[in-house]
């Protein structure tokens, strides 16, 4: 099968399929990562920490139906055992694992969490688009393109295509089985806003060829803001949408946005909530400094997963952009 240039760049990166690594391989065990303060991690498998999380989401203004759907998705995922090696993780207390730093957390992970052996269920964009309060008033059938949705060719490879509407982009990047499965698990219908937001966020963008390392963060934010404005995206006031961008800055200047999470500010610091890909677990992190989140995101990239990508950037809403050190 002949694939587009985007497809060739995304092998192993966006598909989140487990590469052939040796058993008991810990890819970040010797990584030079910045030390920080204590950080806690939970897979939300204990009822008490799940209840605490849903209460926190309620205080942040998340809709009741979305919170119920989130809890249903978490419970459904954790009802099936997964193959994640937790031998180097601290023992959980009421479902919470405490690490001395974000660096120690990353070093203890056996692989990218999206590579966890588990049936594919809701993906990372589901909790963000339902809980955060992000909105789009774009009509799904408006000619709002060009859109460059990511199309799954097989478990290892993504391709892309060019379409005109948000509805076309959504249908290109989601199978009918996935659309049905998510609705069955969560009980939530696919609203026009969620369809438009999927097309707006989970996509490929292109940077100007004059972009350099020195101007990358500024240029990326400018490109994203222009697109989101055109697609009538409004970011929330009580939560932050975190997006992970993989960038090829040598020949094609393409930006793949294939991961999303939800960041909540607390008196004690921050709480970050994500679903680590369709097969990966739900994760909650509690930490004091945003640098700890950047350190954690080092675990989203390995040498095997980079493909042709050269840079990795984390954005928070449409206001902040940070480099991720891919070691």
Question: Which single residue is written with the structure tokens 């097989």?
Answer: 154
Domain that holds residue 189: 5-16+25-323
For residue 314, is it left (φ>0), alpha (ψ between -120 and 50) or beta?
beta
**Residue 280: per-residue pLDDT:** 96
Could you say which residues of the chain have pLDDT below 70?
1-26, 28-29, 154-156, 326-327
**Residue 154: per-residue pLDDT:** 65
Please state, in angstroms and as integers, the Cα–Cα distance from residue 151 to each residue in 160, 211, 279, 301, 304, following that order.
Answer: 5, 26, 17, 21, 21
Give the count of domains, the chain. Answer: 1
**Residue 321: per-residue pLDDT:** 97
For 294, the token pair is: 């950047």
Q: In this structure, what DSSP letter does residue 90 have?
A: P
Give the H or E element holding residue 163: none
**What digits encode the pLDDT tens for the residues 272-303?**
999 999 999 999 999 999 999 999 999 999 88
pTM score, whole prediction: 0.90
For 284, the token pair is: 């909650």
CA distance 251 to 211: 11
Question: Which single residue is written with the structure tokens 């840079």?
Answer: 311
**What digits encode the pLDDT tens for the residues 152-185?**
776 557 788 999 999 999 999 999 999 999 999 9
Indicate if the alpha-carbon torsion angle 203, 207, 212, 215 is positive or negative.
negative
For 28, the token pair is: 């970040």
Q: What number of other Cβ atoms are within 10 A of residue 277's Cβ?
A: 25
**Residue 32: per-residue pLDDT:** 72
**Residue 9: per-residue pLDDT:** 34
- Backbone torsions φ then ψ of 123, nearest 5 degrees: -95, -175
CA distance 216 to 204: 16
Please name the residues in contact with 106: beta carbons below 8 A apart, sequence gap of 6 or more. Answer: 28, 31, 33, 295, 296, 298, 299
Burial of 283 (0-12, 13-18, 19+ CB in 10 A): middle
**Residue 156: per-residue pLDDT:** 56
**Residue 14: per-residue pLDDT:** 38
């Amino acid at each position: 099968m002949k694939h587009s240039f985007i497809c060739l760049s995304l092998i192993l990166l966006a598909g989140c399929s487990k590469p052939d690594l040796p058993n008991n391989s810990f890819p970040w065990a010797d990584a030079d990562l910045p030390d920080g303060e204590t950080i806690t991690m939970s897979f939300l498998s204990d009822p008490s920490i799940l209840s605490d999380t849903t209460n926190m989401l309620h205080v942040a203004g998340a809709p009741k139906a979305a919170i119920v759907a989130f809890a249903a998705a978490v419970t459904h995922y954790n009802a099936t055992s997964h193959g994640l090696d937790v031998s180097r993780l601290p023992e959980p207390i009421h479902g919470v694992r405490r690490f001395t730093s974000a660096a120690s957390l990353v070093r203890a992970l056996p692989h990218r969490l999206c590579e966890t052996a588990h049936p594919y269920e809701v993906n990372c964009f589901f909790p963000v688009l339902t809980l955060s309060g992000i909105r789009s008033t774009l009509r799904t059938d408006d000619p709002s393109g060009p859109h460059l949705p990511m199309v799954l060719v097989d478990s290892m490879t993504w391709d892309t295509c060019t379409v005109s509407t948000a509805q076309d982009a959504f249908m290109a990047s989601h199978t009918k089985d996935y659309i049905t499965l998510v609705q069955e698990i969560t009980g939530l219908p696919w609203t026009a806003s969620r369809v438009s937001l999927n097309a707006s966020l989970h996509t490929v963008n292109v940077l100007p060829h004059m972009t350099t390392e020195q101007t990358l963060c500024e240029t990326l934010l400018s490109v994203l803001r222009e697109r989101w404005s055109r697609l009538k995206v409004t970011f929330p006031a009580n939560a932050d949408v975190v997006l992970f961008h993989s960038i090829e800055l040598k020949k094609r200047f393409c930006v793949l946005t294939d991961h999303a999470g939800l960041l909540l500010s607390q008196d004690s610091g921050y709480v970050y909530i994500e679903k680590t890909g369709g097969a990966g677990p739900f994760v909650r992190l509690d930490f004091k400094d945003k640098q700890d989140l950047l350190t954690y995101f080092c675990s989203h990239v390995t040498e095997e997963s980079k493909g042709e990508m050269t840079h990795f950037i984390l954005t928070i809403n449409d206001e902040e952009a940070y480099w991720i050190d891919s070691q």
